[in-house]
């Protein structure tokens, strides 16, 4: 990272990306492999 980012912001961003990718994968494939 070019500059320091608060951990809360990082976790929030990761949460968003994880949620979006999770929804896309769930919509495209069965969530049998979802943990």
Query: For tokens 């320091």, what's the residue?
Result: 4
pLDDT at 3 over 70: yes
How far is 35 from 32, CA to CA, in rounded Å? 8
Q: How many whole angstroms separate alpha carbon 29 and alpha carbon 27?
A: 6
| Gap between the Cα atoms of 13 and 9, Å rounded | 6
Task: Give the whole-angstrom CA distance, residue 11 versus residue 6.
Answer: 9
| All structural domains of the chain with their residue ranges | 1-28
- The more confidently predicted of residues 6 and 23 is 6
pLDDT at residue 13 greater than cutoff 60 = yes
The backbone torsions φ and ψ at residue 21, rounded to the nearest 5 degrees and listed phi first, read -65, -35
């Amino acid at each position: 990272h070019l500059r320091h980012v608060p951990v809360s912001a990082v976790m929030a961003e990761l949460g968003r990306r994880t949620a979006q990718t999770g929804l896309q994968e769930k919509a495209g494939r069965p969530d049998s492999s979802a943990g």
